[in-house]
Structure 1
Amino acid sequence: MFLLALALILAAVAYHAVMTLVDLFPFNNVRGAARAEQRTEVAINAPIMALPAVLLILAAATGIPAFGYAGAVVESVAVLGGLLLWWSPYLAGVTMPWATAGVGATWSELHARTYARTVIVLPRIGDRPRPNLEHMLLHTLMLAAAVTTFLAAASR
């Protein structure tokens, strides 16, 4: 379980970096962001997303499962943030207050400008922004990483 959890965590980090830096339109829309914005996003998110891997490795190296549980909690908080950001507006019409901090736009406006022309497989619910496939895959990877990291910590 340790190797699977580690692989899922690192796959999510790598996937996020590629989706942030590499133009794969219409799967993603990095064209709408300046290169400096892309690098900043990766510089901020990659260490946070990689922290659960470090903690899981630390748990394995020390035999202290608390490190693994801490990694699972960090991964869970990260995926919860992504789920709240993307799924609350779609399912409940509720936007998280931090969704567009410092952007000067609403989530609907930001979504329309940056994600609405990417691949979206979900049906419309009124005029609510829909999670795109890129983020659905990222959230799936992160959720699987959180679950397997808890299981890996419990098996130590």
Structure 2
Amino acid sequence: MLTAITLTLVAVAYFAITTLVDLYPLNNVRDAKRSEQLTEVAVNAPVMAMPAVLLGLAGGLRLPVLGYAGGALELLAAIGGLTLWWMPYLVGVTAPWATAGTGVTWAELHSRTYAQTLIVLPRIGNRPRPNVEHMILHALMLGAAVAIFAATAAIH
């Protein structure tokens, strides 16, 4: 259980650091307003931490359903991130929520914000490619989801 909680919190910390700290070329937070960065962390970090809280409660109260809910939440967040980043790259289709309310396309946003960051994937036409920053985040989140489900299965 400790491994799953730790992995989840490492993902949250990684997200917060890469959102708030300029680590170029890993990320590109230079052009974001500080208020935008803080809002992103304030909104997303508590949601990302909730699976660890649910798993801790599941273990403490011996209620595996809470752990499974935490695992499902972590998996849902990971799938959302993977859909946002990998669907445009692999199949050329952008998730409907990718740039909701911004008035720009995902390709435009990616070109302005992420295209100059560290990217190791080969080009597929002119499709936006996932950057290393998000590949690491998604791997942490998927690993956390698997660990949460495994830890929950061990609750007796």
TM-score, normalised with respect to structure 2: 0.99
Once the two structures are TM-superposed, the CA of residue 103 in structure 1 deviates from its matched residue by: 1.1
1:39-63 per-position Cα deviation (integer Å, ceiling 9, x unaligned):
0000110011000011001001101
Identity %: 65
Hey, what's the Cα distance between the residues in 2 that align with 1:4 and 1:130? 31
Q: Which residue of 1 aligns with 2:78?
A: 79
Q: Which residue of 1 aligns with 2:139?
A: 140
Please provide the CA RMSD for this pair: 0.4
Hey, what's the Cα distance between the residues in 2 that align with 1:117 and 1:74? 31
Hey, what's the Cα distance between the residues in 2 that align with 1:115 and 1:133? 10
Hey, what's the Cα distance between the residues in 2 that align with 1:97 and 1:27? 26
Find the residue that maps to 1:47 and give its secondary structure. Answer: helix
Q: Which residue of 2 aligns with 1:57?
A: 56
Hey, what's the Cα distance between the residues in 2 that align with 1:133 and 1:105? 23
Q: Which runs of 5+ in 1 are unaligned?
A: none
Q: Which runs of 5+ in 2 are unaligned?
A: none
1:155 correspondence with 2:150: no
Once the two structures are TM-superposed, the CA of residue 95 in structure 1 deviates from its matched residue by: 0.1
Once the two structures are TM-superposed, the CA of residue 22 in structure 1 deviates from its matched residue by: 0.2
Find the residue that maps to 2:66 and give its secondary structure. Answer: helix
1:65-97 per-position Cα deviation (integer Å, ceiling 9, x unaligned):
111000000000000000000000000001001
Once the two structures are TM-superposed, the CA of residue 105 in structure 1 deviates from its matched residue by: 0.4
TM-score, normalised with respect to structure 1: 0.99
Once the two structures are TM-superposed, the CA of residue 102 in structure 1 deviates from its matched residue by: 1.2
Find the residue that maps to 2:49 and give its secondary structure. Answer: helix
Q: Which residue of 2 aligns with 1:116?
A: 115
Q: Which residue of 2 aligns with 1:66?
A: 65
